[in-house]
A and B are shown apart, each in its own frame.
Chain A
């Protein structure tokens, strides 16, 4: 970015500087990023390669390194969207309204393990977990209760369910919206629908094989966006966050999401769609982790990589489709159960990374994250943390304020280069379903688990309160407990629904679903009918299991 002559001058001066201070001592230990990228003492113009207009350019202009909109937060600040759900849909509705009244600008439904895995509350295998790790959404009535008195035409809702249950749960949401008189063509929101979350992020309980999950995810993208049934919806949110939390690094996180995104795009192209028919609605969900500059560089690199994939690989013609839109969650795994108030500081710094990095939407963790679901007080502090960033710090005054930092520009390039190599490594195994079924991604995760644990145990990765200034895990923190009656309430909800619905009619629709599954056609139209008639998530998933079989993931120890 500088004249050659000037760079030579800097280079000479730098050598002199190095010579003069060659005896200055540095601390012992490694200077490297969280992704183990070695870091120099100093970065200068010598480290920044390439042309400004080609590589960085203006926000809203290719390759979007500086941001996907020309005004960024001067136009509108990010959406404050706390991932939230517990007990019952009614209790979650209450929490949502509390957060909304305190300035939250988007909702995100954290569902329980039964909703994730398509298990009804009457099944004893999962019944103790009703509402313990999220909101139970087992039937259409739950969606009515969840959104009661909430203006879902004005505020976007993220439904955090994965391909195994995205069709049943989201069809319930769409049917509920229709019954409440909304035109679903105008609905705004997001379905996570991320194949990797419930395969390697968490292990699936009695789900189906990855090739079916990939097809289910693509059925949903096809039906909502490509076929324009819910054209403003974000039908998928590639959620690097969930596997990053396991211990993979920033480079792998982007590698996983881009390899996965390409597999979905390829599937839809094989179905006969053009990339611009759907790709503009694909979205991403990344982590803001512990390494401040590396994370900011990661967000900048991600925008550039996505632009290149869209134009070089997929030859997308519509420039509105080239922007990398992403939600951020601060890093739950960086938080400690020991001295939990320190978590407020950690989260604030990670929130700063996300917003300097130009996220579209942000979840900040509650300080009790390492111990339980968020209490109301902890959730409010998490929301206020974002509001301190948006309303008090004035970071929103200008776009991409770290651009031009020799270090950040160099690190952005470095991460980009490493991500391309890692995408290639995954794609050598095959598409994302194959990378799962062969066990490749499980081994990557397993290695990441052990690497991170070893780093913590050796003190190479510091966690205050755990491996430095360690304190006992004590009983001081208040523990938020989910409703013990939730299982009875949800069993009763299902019982009443089954009494009310036309079971003979539903049986016929479910038989149609069996045929659709056997033929591997798009499941959405028939599931829209089924959930409207009162089918539960468990009933639909049981048909998937019956036709396609249960998949046992190739876990590695």
Chain B
């Protein structure tokens, strides 16, 4: 992007409506100078389509339903199918047990944020890993 801003899509896969986490992180990223696209509820097809159209660097998934493995797998499969592997940094946040973090990272998630996350940690991680 011409303005050099990091672009982030915040998406809620599935149908669970816990929305505080996604909003809090969205605002923090926007306040940190990133371009934030709030996708709201999106199935994985809609999520990938938005990510392509908006030319984002980061996809953030907000998942509080306990179904994180299922949605992350669906999304990564679709990204691979479309030949977009490594095109986006994938971050996942929500009520996610600590013991699931390493498995999610093995699947291809860059970082996972559980309960009690400080927003500055998310901002720092993105800025350190995406150079624009």
Digitize A453-478: 1 where CB-to-B-CB distance is under 8 Å, 0 elsewhere: 10001000001011100000111010
Contact A473 B114, beta carbon cutoff 8 Å: yes
Residues of B within 8 A of A204 (CB): 17
* B4 interface contact, C-beta 8 A: no
Contact B20 A372, beta carbon cutoff 8 Å: no
Asked whether A557 and B26 contact (CB < 8 A) given A371-B95, A475-B98, the answer is yes
* A198 interface contact, C-beta 8 A: yes
* B111 interface contact, C-beta 8 A: no
* B85 interface contact, C-beta 8 A: no
Contact among A125, A247, A449, A477 for B15, CB-based, below 8 A: A125
Number of residues in A with C-beta < 8 Å to the partner? 46
CA distance A372 to B100 in the complex (A): 12
Residues of B within 8 A of A473 (CB): 98, 114-116
Q: Across the two chains, which residue of chain B brings its CB closest to A471? A: B116
Digitize A107-119: 1 where CB-to-B-CB distance is under 8 Å, 0 elsewhere: 0000001101101
Contact B24 A338, beta carbon cutoff 8 Å: no
Residues of A within 8 A of B125 (CB): none
Contact B15 A126, beta carbon cutoff 8 Å: yes
CA distance A477 to B98 in the complex (A): 9
Residues of A within 8 A of B97 (CB): 371-372, 475, 477, 479
Contact A555 B23, beta carbon cutoff 8 Å: yes
Number of residues in B with C-beta < 8 Å to the partner? 36
Contact B99 A465, beta carbon cutoff 8 Å: no
Residues of A within 8 A of B115 (CB): 336-337, 370-371, 473
* A145 interface contact, C-beta 8 A: no
CA distance A205 to B46 in the complex (A): 15
CA distance A370 to B18 in the complex (A): 13
Q: Shortest Cβ distance from B110 into chain A, in angstroms?
A: 17
Give residues of chain A (368-390) contacting chain B, Cβ–Cβ below 8 Å.
370-373
Contact B116 A337, beta carbon cutoff 8 Å: yes
* A246 interface contact, C-beta 8 A: yes
Q: Across the two chains, which residue of chain B brings its CB closest to A553? A: B40
Contact among B17, B24, B119 for A203, CB-based, below 8 A: B17
Q: Shortest Cβ distance from A252 into chain B, in angstroms?
A: 15
Contact B20 A246, beta carbon cutoff 8 Å: yes
Residues of B within 8 A of A6 (CB): none
Residues of B within 8 A of A201 (CB): 17
Residues of A within 8 A of B30 (CB): 557
Given contacts A132-B65, A246-B20, A372-B95, 10 further A-B contacts (CB under 8 A): A128-B71, A203-B41, A247-B20, A372-B66, A453-B28, A453-B119, A465-B116, A474-B98, A475-B98, A555-B19
Chain A positions within 8 Å of B, measured between CB atoms, are 113-114, 116-117, 119, 124-126, 128-129, 132-133, 198, 201-206, 246-247, 336-338, 370-373, 446, 449-450, 453, 457, 463, 465-467, 473-475, 477, 479, 482, 555-557
Q: List 8 A-B contacts (CB under 8 A).
A: A117-B15, A129-B66, A206-B15, A246-B20, A338-B116, A449-B20, A453-B28, A477-B98
